[in-house]
């Protein structure tokens, strides 16, 4: 989707040439005058329209307007979540029409939520086509963001474009079926990102992974016909002396459960088990756009979890890169096995923080549903920053506990640690397992099992948590820490990132 920014008042919007003009209406919109304001007043009077968030009214050839379609859409109080609900409703309604270009008309207070509005438009107009090219015909190709002052909105617009590109990439790779998104396909995608300035990529195969001693990662991959890949991405935006943030993404391109085989119904959704990896790729795409003064490393252990004659068996003991031995009691708890070696590898970068992102446990979905990702952290300030980044980008997470008592069940008579405990607090015990490998740096873990994709009729990847990872990273830039202007609900801007002289 093509995004443009324009200065546009309600009066100017009346003469905007576009397939569809979408006007966001909040409670305070009544102060407006002119043609559109009159139509709004009449529609409200008739009872056909109210400014409740998500309420839509569509005109075909609205009298006096240049636009072919007019959509009035309510955004309630005009908060970020209201703007998102409104834009989502309007674009969803237009998706059924033939409109290819859409102009969104935002008032000054709504323009505060420019990043959220743009992302909502992109999310609602997204159509998966990689293995369904026939879907192409429905696409909305161009969105114009009309705001009262385009110059002022420019920094946010830059963030919006970067975030949209990042989320789109994450959704794309998340959605591709496992036979179109193998470990090597992910490695090629990562190498593709290295064509951008400041990004480089290195890909390791089995031999190198074995030489590093990544015994648990190799063990998960050993029954698959698809060779494993260990992907290392670098974004270098600051001096080499500046410690990087390391992002680690779980890249299980298909999770059958292995010998501890998963039940058949719904197993197709385990193609999404690489959404953590996809979010790392997406975040790097966004970094390529915004070029912040930061160093970031991305690590992706990518493989399939398959049953077969060579497969890992319950009771097997494997040695991790850290030297700790692990008793595999359930081969379906494979995510923590590929992550633990990547977390050990992360040490060499002397990172200021390591964040792993993983579709790790069904138990996290039971605990938090699909709204908030599970957040675990050994560092209070890292936790606070990730929570804030989530609120700011409307990509929410929720802090979960790491009390040592939760690790009791991971004790093993045959190895240093078992890979599973009993069913209780399954998301927490998984995090406790990972924590054993993260003693050398501030660490956070995002369990995105509930947030990375949707099931049912809307089945598909969400691109989460790219928005919050990006907001977190942009807040790390030198000028952002000095900035006092940003309110909790405003997305990060390029001003905050030190991209402008403001
Ligand atoms: N990829 C799954 C987690 C998952 C399951 C995410 C369902 C979203 C929906 C992970 O590898 C897994 O299988 N975890 C097991 C752990 C268990 C064996 C301790 C689970 O959650 O059932
Ligand atoms: Mn599994
Ligand atoms: Zn898995």
> Residues 337-352: pLDDT tens digits?
999 999 999 999 999 9
pLDDT beyond 60 at 72: yes
446: exposed, middle or buried (C-beta count within 10 Å: 0-12, 13-18, 19+)? buried
What number is the average pLDDT over the span 302-310? 98
Catalytic residue among 336, 432, 436, 490: 336
378: exposed, middle or buried (C-beta count within 10 Å: 0-12, 13-18, 19+)? middle
> Which residue among 332, 364, 373 is best mutated to probe the pocket of ligand 1, counting the most ligand atoms within 8 A of its Cβ?
332
Query: What percent of the chain has a predicted confidence (pLDDT) above 90?
Result: 92
Q: Name the residues around ion ligand 2, CB cutoff 5 A.
A: 255, 332, 334
Nearest atom within ligand 1 for CA of residue 430:
19
Cβ 334 under 6 angstroms from ligand 1: yes
User: Ligand 1 atom 9: the closest Cα is on which residue?
Assistant: 362
Query: What is the model's pLDDT at position 486?
Result: 45
| Rg over CA atoms, the chain | 24
Q: Phi, psi at residue 169, to the nearest 5°?
A: -65, -45
User: pLDDT tens, 206-226?
Assistant: 999 999 999 999 999 999 999
DSSP 322: T
Query: What is the model's pLDDT at position 136?
Result: 76
Cβ 359 under 6 angstroms from ligand 1: yes
Query: What is the model's pLDDT at position 32?
Result: 81
Nearest 5 degrees, angle CA 348-CA 385-CA 469?
Answer: 65
For residue 319, the cross-strand partners are 325
pLDDT beyond 90 at 334: yes
pLDDT beyond 50 at 485: no
Residue 57 alpha carbon to ligand 2 centre in Å: 45
Identify each DSSP E strand in 186-311 by its residue range.
199-204, 229-236, 245-249, 251-255, 295-305
DSSP 333: -
User: pLDDT tens, 407-428?
Assistant: 999 999 999 999 999 999 999 9
User: Residue 278 in contact with residue 173, Cβ under 8 Å?
Assistant: yes
pLDDT beyond 60 at 370: yes
pLDDT beyond 60 at 23: yes
**DSSP per position, 394-461:** T--EEE----GGGGGGG--SSSSEES---STTHHHHHHHHHHTT-TTS-EEEEE-TTTSEE-GGG-EE
Q: Distance between CA atoms of 155 and 274, rounded to whole angstroms? A: 32
Residue 128 alpha carbon to ligand 3 centre in Å: 23
User: Ligand 1 atom 13: the closest Cα is on which residue?
Assistant: 332
Banded pLDDT at 137 (limits 50, 70, 90): low
Query: What is the model's pLDDT at position 389?
Result: 98
What number is the average pLDDT over the span 453-459? 97
Query: What is the model's pLDDT at position 483?
Result: 41
What number is the average pLDDT over the span 168-172? 98
pLDDT beyond 50 at 500: no
* CA-wise closest residue to 471 among 351, 372, 390: 390
Q: How many residues does the chain have?
A: 502
Q: Distance between CA atoms of 340 and 358, rounded to whole angstroms? A: 12
Query: What percent of the chain has a predicted confidence (pLDDT) above 70?
Result: 95
115-132 in b/e form (b: 16+ CB < 10 A) is: bbbbbbbbbbbbeeeeee
Among all bound ligands, the one having the nearest atom to the CA of 449 is: 1
Relative to beta strand 199-204, strand 229-236 is antiparallel
What number is the average pLDDT over the span 238-259? 98
- Average pLDDT of the chain is 95
Cβ 346 under 6 angstroms from ligand 1: no
Banded pLDDT at 488 (limits 50, 70, 90): very low
> Which residue among 271, 306, 362, 424 is best mutated to probe the pocket of ligand 1, counting the most ligand atoms within 8 A of its Cβ?
362
What number is the average pLDDT over the span 225-246? 98
Query: What is the model's pLDDT at position 138?
Result: 63
pLDDT beyond 90 at 460: yes
Q: Has 262 been annotated as catalytic?
A: yes
Cβ 276 under 6 angstroms from ligand 1: no
Q: Three-state SS for 475?
A: coil
pLDDT beyond 60 at 490: no
Q: Distance between CA atoms of 183 and 180, rounded to whole angstroms? A: 10
> Which residue among 270, 331, 361, 366 is best mutated to probe the pocket of ligand 1, counting the most ligand atoms within 8 A of its Cβ?
361
The reported pTM is 0.95
Q: Distance between CA atoms of 262 and 331, rounded to whole angstroms? A: 10
Q: Phi, psi at residue 350, to the nearest 5°?
A: 45, 55
Query: What is the model's pLDDT at position 250?
Result: 99
Residue holding tokens 């709004």?
Answer: 40
pLDDT beyond 50 at 364: yes
Q: Has 432 been annotated as catalytic?
A: no
Q: Which two tokens stand for residue 440?
A: 């050398």
The full 3-state SS of 148-161, as one line of letters, equals: CCHHHHHHHHHHHH
User: Residue 356 in contact with residue 446, Cβ under 8 Å?
Assistant: yes
Banded pLDDT at 492 (limits 50, 70, 90): low
Among all bound ligands, the one having the nearest atom to the CA of 448 is: 1
What number is the average pLDDT over the span 124-153? 91
Q: Distance between CA atoms of 416 and 438, rounded to whole angstroms? A: 16
pLDDT beyond 60 at 43: yes
pLDDT beyond 90 at 139: no
Residue 362 alpha carbon to ligand 1 centre in Å: 5
Cis before 316? omega within 30: no
Nearest atom within ligand 1 for CA of residue 421:
19
Q: Three-state SS for 304?
A: strand
């Amino acid at each position: 989707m093509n995004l443009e920014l324009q200065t546009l008042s309600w009066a100017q919007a009346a003469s905007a040439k576009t397939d569809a003009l979408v006007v966001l209406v909040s409670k305070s919109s009544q102060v407006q005058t002119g043609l559109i304001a009159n139509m709004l007043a009449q529609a409200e009077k008739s009872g056909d329209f109210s400014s409740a968030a998500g309420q839509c009214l569509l005109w075909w050839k609205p009298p006096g307007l240049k636009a072919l379609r007019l959509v009035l859409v309510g955004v309630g109080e005009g908060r970020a979540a209201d703007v998102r609900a409104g834009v989502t409703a309007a674009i969803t309604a237009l998706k059924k029409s033939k409109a290819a270009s859409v102009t969104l008309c935002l008032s000054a207070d709504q323009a505060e939520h420019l990043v959220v509005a743009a992302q909502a438009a992109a999310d609602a107009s997204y159509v998966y086509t990689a293995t369904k090219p026939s879907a192409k015909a429905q696409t909305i190709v161009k969105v114009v963001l009309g705001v009262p002052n385009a110059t002022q909105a420019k920094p946010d617009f830059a963030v919006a474009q970067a975030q949209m590109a990042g989320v789109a990439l994450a959704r794309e790779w998340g959605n591709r079926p496992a036979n179109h998104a193998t470990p090597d396909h992910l490695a090629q995608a990562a190498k593709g990102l290295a064509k951008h300035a400041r990004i480089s990529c290195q890909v390791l195969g089995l031999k190198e992974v074995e030489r590093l001693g990544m015994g648990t990662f190799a063990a998960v991959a050993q029954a698959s016909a698809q060779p494993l890949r260990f992907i290392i991405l670098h974004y270098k935006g600051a001096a080499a002396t500046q410690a990087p943030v390391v992002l680690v993404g779980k890249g299980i391109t298909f999770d059958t459960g292995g010998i501890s085989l998963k039940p058949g119904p719904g197993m197709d959704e385990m193609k999404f088990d690489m959404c953590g990896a996809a979010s790392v790729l997406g975040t790097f795409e966004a970094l390529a756009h915004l070029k912040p003064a930061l160093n970031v490393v991305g690590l992706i252990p990518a493989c399939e979890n398959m049953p077969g004659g060579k497969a890992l068996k319950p009771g097997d003991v494997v040695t991790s890169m850290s030297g700790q031995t692990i008793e595999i009691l359930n081969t379906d708890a494979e995510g923590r096995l590929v992550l633990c070696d990547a977390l050990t590898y992360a040490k060499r970068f002397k990172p200021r923080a390591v964040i792993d992102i993983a579709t790790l446990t069904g138990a996290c979905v039971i605990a938090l549903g699909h709204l908030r990702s599970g957040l675990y952290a050994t560092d209070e300030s890292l936790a606070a920053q990730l929570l804030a980044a989530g609120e700011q980008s409307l990509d929410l997470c929720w802090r979960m506990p790491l009390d040592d008592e939760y690790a009791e069940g991971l004790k093993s008579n045959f190895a240093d640690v078992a890979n599973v405990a009993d069913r209780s607090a399954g998301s927490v015990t998984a995090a406790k397992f990972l924590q054993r490998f993260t003693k050398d740096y501030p660490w956070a873990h995002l369990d995105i099992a509930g947030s990375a994709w949707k099931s049912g009729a809307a089945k598909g990847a969400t691109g989460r948590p790219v928005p919050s990872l990006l907001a977190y990273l942009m807040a790390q830039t030198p000028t952002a820490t000095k900035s006092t202007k940003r309110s909790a609900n405003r997305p990060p801007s390029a001003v905050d990132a030190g991209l402008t002289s403001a």
